Structure 1
């Protein structure tokens, strides 16, 4: 598990920030799978610093609930990601502070792998969704991992990331046990904007990705030295953009 009340919580907002256009691309991708009427109520489960939460309110009209267990991350959101239709709540995936059948959609944006009890978390997601509601599980999956170029600087990074995530079939099986109906395959979304090598280095050097919490210290300094040298040598080199996977999970309309 990762301590988001510690170092990672201090660098997360800067290292994982999203441009407004990127937020809009994600929220519009979700809107394609939800009813057209507005307003819709949305739960941002594991909302962190609120980088997507106000955008969900803009897209769906609110109310939007950002549930986050880390006091530090939630405090950043309450200060910097304010919206009249957004309420941030202390809670966890295993204990969501919302009533039964109270939201139209649930977003789990790169938070599912942090759930201490993933089955219980999905069972809670099913509970708070309205019948017919949709949960969006935005995650990496062990069987369809992207080949990120910066893995080359840190020899253990691929293995560390793959070990963090379940495969698509494993996730689908957990969802079914929780009472949800998963789609057969993930939806792939190109939302991230292209970045140069230097822009990518400037983000990753903050170590705001949980991957770096699990790498051996012996890899960090040499890896970042090589990364920095390459970024200085060829700063404008365009980096590949990988689509993000979202697995849709639906609460049945009838028990």
Structure 2
């Protein structure tokens, strides 16, 4: 497990933060798969530093609950309070909300951290109102993107794939938990291209689970090669990759 109360928690905002325009693109994309009525109450499960929670409140005009097990990450989120957001300590396996209390659940790159994914999805079903929707924004082992920076770290793609389950496995868990998965995985493009320099600066903070799992002897040589490439072409725009998401519904 990644310790988000330690080093990762201290660099996460700088390494994984989102500009406001990117938050708006994400929340607008989520709205495509949620009911049109407003307000909608939303659970941001694994809300981390709250990079999306205020945007969810603005987009869906209801109460947003950010549930996060890391005290350090949650404290960071609480430094920027929003009247529509309540941050709560808790985990996916024990969500501190009543049954049928939210219209939507967002799991944004948090599902692979759930110690018990089936129990987490059962809890998601429990807190969803009938007809409510859960958005499982995750990587899946059988549809992994070929990220440009993998070339600097020979084990990175294999390490990343090992963190995630396949689409079929995720659907099977959701079905067992009482959620109905959509047939197709959704693809969303919400990021703007970053320059090579910007990409290096963000990744060099190692605010991604990948770098916690890479062999130690790959890290420094990899970042040295990455830095040298960034020095030669700092303003080159890097690829933008579509993000994968599985839409799950609690049957009415």
Q: Which residue of 2 aligns with 1:228?
A: 227
Q: Distance in 2 between matches of 1:43 and 1:177?
A: 21
CA shift digits 1:41-64 (9 cap, x unpaired) = 000000000000000000001200
Q: Distance in 2 between matches of 1:55 and 1:62?
A: 11
Q: Which residue of 1 aligns with 2:12?
A: 12
Q: Which residue of 1 aligns with 2:116?
A: 117
Q: Distance in 1 between matches of 2:120 and 2:90?
A: 11
Q: Which residue of 1 aligns with 2:153?
A: 154
Q: Runs of 5+ in structure 1 lacking a partner?
A: none
Is 1:34 paired with 2:30?
A: no
Q: Which residue of 2 aligns with 1:106?
A: 105
Q: Distance in 2 between matches of 1:147 and 1:22?
A: 22
Which secondary structure state, in structure 1, belongs to the residue aligned with residue 62 of structure 2?
Answer: coil
Pairing 1:158-237 to 2, within 5 Å after superposition: 158-237=157-236
Tell me how far 1:141 sits from its aligned partner: 0.4
Q: Runs of 5+ in structure 2 lacking a partner?
A: none
Which secondary structure state, in structure 1, belongs to the residue aligned with residue 214 of structure 2?
Answer: coil
Aligned residues: 252
Q: Which residue of 1 aligns with 2:128?
A: 129
Tell me how far 1:85 sits from its aligned partner: 0.6
Q: Distance in 1 between matches of 2:108 and 2:155?
A: 24
Tell me how large the CA RMSD over aligned residues is: 0.6
Which secondary structure state, in structure 2, belongs to the residue aligned with residue 50 of structure 1?
Answer: coil
Tell me how far 1:30 sits from its aligned partner: 1.1
Q: Distance in 2 between matches of 1:74 and 1:154?
A: 31
CA shift digits 1:66-108 (9 cap, x unpaired) = 000000000000013x210100000000000000000000000
Q: Which residue of 2 aligns with 1:46?
A: 46
Tell me how far 1:32 sits from its aligned partner: 1.1
Tell me how far 1:113 sits from its aligned partner: 0.1
Q: Distance in 2 between matches of 1:224 and 1:29?
A: 33
Which secondary structure state, in structure 2, belongs to the residue aligned with residue 26 of structure 1?
Answer: helix
Query: How does the TM-score come out when normalised to structure 1?
Result: 0.98
Tell me how far 1:35 sits from its aligned partner: 1.6
Q: Distance in 2 between matches of 1:23 and 1:247?
A: 19
Q: Distance in 1 between matches of 2:72 and 2:62?
A: 24
Which secondary structure state, in structure 1, belongs to the residue aligned with residue 115 of structure 2?
Answer: coil
Q: Distance in 2 between matches of 1:37 and 1:75?
A: 32
Which secondary structure state, in structure 1, belongs to the residue aligned with residue 132 of structure 2?
Answer: strand
Q: Which residue of 2 aligns with 1:244?
A: 243
Q: Distance in 1 between matches of 2:43 and 2:49?
A: 14
Pairing 1:84-103 to 2, within 5 Å after superposition: 84-103=83-102
Q: Distance in 1 between matches of 2:12 and 2:209?
A: 10
Q: Distance in 2 between matches of 1:113 and 1:34?
A: 23
